Amino acid sequence: MSPALTIRPYSEGALTQAAAKLRAGELVAFPTETVYGLGADATNDDAVAGIFSAKQRPSFNPLISHFPDRDAAAQHAIFDARADKLAAAFWPGALTLVLPKRDDSTVSKLTTAGLPSIAVRVPAHEMARALLRAVGRPIAAPSANRSGRISPTTAAHVAASLGNAIGMILDGGPCGVGLESTVIDLTTDQVVMLRPGGITRDQVAEVLGCDVVMAETDDNAPKSPGMLTSHYAPGLPVRLNATAPDQKKYGHEILLAFGDCVTKGFDKVLWLSKTGDDREAAANLFAKLHEADQPRFDGIAIAPIPDAGLGLAINDRMKRASAPRAPHPAPSN
Ligand code: TXA
Ligand code: MG
């Protein structure tokens, strides 16, 4: 059942209600200076799975975690001198930094798509900052539109695109920038622009006093092989649609199980969802993949998962994990 939709302009009461919903694991759309975001508690696997479900996204891409200030972000990401310079120059604002994720970060593996890095941003919109302070937790937020539609810059756009999938929109008027944030990757010695946006390459280069390399990506899907290798892939081989163990061919396998699949004969079984619930499986996906990826097994078997709802995104992710792997190429530039 779709929840009744509440659209509320700025008030103490609206912020309190939105913060309570987010802390309870519900979705709330909120304004930022770039576009409206579809927010969820970034530390809650199930809430983050809800984002993918509401957007009907056919794949799991890492999401940006939003914070009220740099120090809050530094509880989850490791800032080097370059990151501190960029944060001082452009935050709050339309800049997202991809940084190494701290080992003690509580941000969900689904938020970061299993990667060892995390994308962090401090938005400038006053309503967003007040909300982030009130929630006191990182908020994962992609643009608040159904997958494949244009990014929303008013509450009415959000309502038209997601109105029957979410319970609440905070209405902060039209977004000033209207274009998503610039995404800068600082996880290597090079400074790489993953997504152009509100802040330009020249602005970033000037603050850092070095070159900024452009990555060949579009908004959501990394295209260049160099980018693909940065996506989490388990060390063990992965096979899909496993309906039975076959020790002769596959050796000792650990099974990621779903619904009423066959579990007998596998070396170990980890459940994505016992009840065959696609959302629960999505919430568990990256955590279980990491857990399964141990050298004492020869491979990871994945039970069949129906290609419907979040099953599409789960299968997309598993197909990537199971694709024959070329030796990781060195970054080309
Ligand atoms: O302006 C914006 O950035 C909006 C507002 C709501 O803040 N948010 C937004 O989020 O556009 P999203 O999730 O649609 O964009 C995330 C971008 C994607 O291009 C994704 O691939 C990249 O950031 N990204 C996130 N985490 C990453 C990571 N760990 N490594 C590489 N890229 C990452
Ligand atoms: Mg988007």
Going by alpha carbons, the residue nearest to atom 14 of ligand 1 is 142
The residues lining ligand 1, judged by C-beta closer than 6 Å to any ligand atom, are 32, 34-35, 37, 61-64, 96, 98, 112, 115, 117-119, 121, 123, 141-143, 180-181, 183, 185, 194-195, 219-220
> 222 CA to middle of ligand 2, Å?
14
DSSP letter for each residue of 38-100: EEEETT-HHHHHHHHHHHT-SS----EEE-SSHHHHTTTB---HHHHHHHHHH-SSSEEEEEE
Nearest ligand to the CA of 231 is 1
CA distance 57 to 315: 12
Q: Residue 1 above 80 pLDDT?
A: no
Q: What are 37-96's pLDDT values in tens digits?
A: 999 999 999 999 999 999 998 888 999 999 999 999 999 999 999 999 999 999 999 999
Nearest ligand to the CA of 112 is 1
β-bridge mates for residue 64, sequence order: 119
Q: What are 149-161's pLDDT values in tens digits?
A: 888 999 999 999 9
Q: What is the pLDDT of residue 125?
A: 97
- pTM, entire model: 0.89
Buried b (16+ CB within 10 A) or exposed e, 38-52: bbbbbbbbbbbbbbb
Q: What are 123-178's pLDDT values in tens digits?
A: 999 999 999 999 999 999 999 999 888 889 999 999 999 999 999 999 999 998 88
